[in-house]
Structure formats: C-alpha cells, structure tokens
Amino acid sequence: MIAITTPEALLALAVLGLVAIPWLHGVRHTVLLFFANLSFVMILALMPGAVVHDGVRQMLSALPFLAALAGVGFFAITSWLLDTARRCEGIQRIPNLRVKITAAVFLVAAFHPLIDLYLSHPFQLSYYNRLVGGIRGAYERGLETTYFLEAITPGFIQILNEKLPKNATVNALFANFMFEFYQNQGMLRRDIRFSSSGSSDFYLVLNRRSALSPRDRQMMQGSLRPVESVGVAGVPLVALFDVRKMP
C-alpha cells in the first residue's frame, strides 16, 4: 500500500538514498536509523492479527521516515551532479551552480507529483500512483478509492440544493448524519429529509466497495443512471439515484 500510494519520484529518491549509504560518510548511521524505523512499521503490519484495515492509514507513521530517505536520495543525486559538473571546466564557471542544480533536480522530482496533485484535486485521498495504473487501475483491481465522505464536496451539496424536489426523502445510509450536519450549518436545504428506514425518493451510495451492500452494488453496476455523481479519473466516488424510476 505504501508503494502504490506514494508518488513514484519519492519512492525512487528513497531507494536512491538507501543505495547511497556506502558513500554517505558521517551520516550513515542516521540513514540506517531512518530505514530501520520505516521497516519496523511495515513489519508490524505483516504480523498476525495486525490491524491494517482501510488502506494505508494504519501505516502513516512509516511515511516520515520514507520522506527522510527521499531527502537523503535528493541530497545524494544533487551532490553527485555537482561533483560531476565541477569536473567540467565550462560548467563550473556558471554562477550559483549549486542552487541551479538543486533547483533543477527538485523540479524534475516534483513535476509528476504536482501534476497528479492537480489532476486528483480535491480527491487526493483517492490517489494511487502509476505502479498500479493510477486511480483507475487501482479501482479495476478492487482497491478502495474513497472512504471518509470527502467526495461529498460543497459543489455536490449545492447540486442537491438545486436538483432535489421539495420535501424529498434521501437514504444516504451511514452518511445521513453528515447531511444533517450540513443542514444544521445552513449549507443544505432544511426541507430535505434523510432517513435509512422506510421508503425514500433518492438513494445515495458512497462507493466504498468493501462496505457496499448487495443493493448498493446493484445500484452502482445496474442500468439505472445516477441523477448526479462525483468521481475522479472516471472512477465514481459517490452517486445519487432516483429510486422512483426503478422498475
């Protein structure tokens, strides 16, 4: 999970940081400590009975050490490039050479993560890297792409305000409490009723597939098109269905 939810550039820099350990005189033990802490957290996740549900969040404490190793890799590659440039008579005359090389490496390393950040906004919690085919590839492989109700954006709330008829009843399952909160905050119309019991006019599905009921799966995979949906990279995260149109 850490490998497929971390930008590839950071993974590459972390691996480079490990490979460079023999040449890192004076800080070798510190880098090994970073690696030991990273490994310790992931080994805990492999132990029998370890609680590793809901994706990578149970292993978040490993990520600072992964970032530290990526910083070591960044230092290693910039140092090597600077040493190489200093051997070239023409290049070594360039003013502020260290700053320019450092900036160039940073731009190369940050380019794809910044693009991915932009393309997945505001659903960065759904991010998967290219090792698993991005968000779409992860979805096709059965991995979770949403969980924390982050797909219910202010824009989606506004759509509900505009499209739902007066006094509509919505079954949003375990998300009912969140919509009631939005009503109390004045963001959502007060005439809309949310209930998980009895009949309803609309049915809202948060596409957390490990928790979908048979009815939820039927909704997401059936022929009934949603009234409105929110997704990223072609992957549906939340969908609102008009159950009055069901046969």
134-149 confidence digits (pLDDT tens)? 999 999 998 999 988 8
**81 and 8 assigned to the same domain:** yes
What's the sign of the alpha-carbon dihedral 171, 176, 181, 182?
negative
**Residue 134 lies inside a defined structural domain of this protein:** no
**Residue 139 lies inside a defined structural domain of this protein:** no
Across 169-180, average pLDDT: 92
**113 and 214 assigned to the same domain:** no
Q: H helices within 58-203, ranges in order? A: 63-86, 97-120, 134-140, 154-163, 176-184
- With bands split at pLDDT 50, 70 and 90, how would you rate the model's confidence at 247? low
**177 and 94 assigned to the same domain:** no
Show which of 120, 146, 172 is a domain's final residue: 120
CB neighbourhood size of 221 (10 A) = 9
**Residue 149 lies inside a defined structural domain of this protein:** no
**Residue 223 lies inside a defined structural domain of this protein:** yes
**Residue 222 lies inside a defined structural domain of this protein:** yes
**10 and 107 assigned to the same domain:** yes
Q: Is the pLDDT of residue 239 over 70?
A: yes
**8 and 114 assigned to the same domain:** yes
Cα–Cα distance between 141 and 135 in angstroms, integer?
10
Position of tokens 């599905």? 205
**77 and 177 assigned to the same domain:** no
**Residue 184 lies inside a defined structural domain of this protein:** yes
What is the structure's pLDDT at 223?
Answer: 82
- With bands split at pLDDT 50, 70 and 90, how would you rate the model's confidence at 170? very high
Tokens for 57, please give them: 């969040």
Task: Name the domain count of the chain.
Answer: 2
What is the structure's pLDDT at 210?
Answer: 84
**63 and 112 assigned to the same domain:** yes
**107 and 14 assigned to the same domain:** yes
Across 109-115, average pLDDT: 94
pTM of the model: 0.85
**107 and 188 assigned to the same domain:** no
Mean pLDDT estimate for the chain? 90
Domain, as residue range, for 8:
2-120
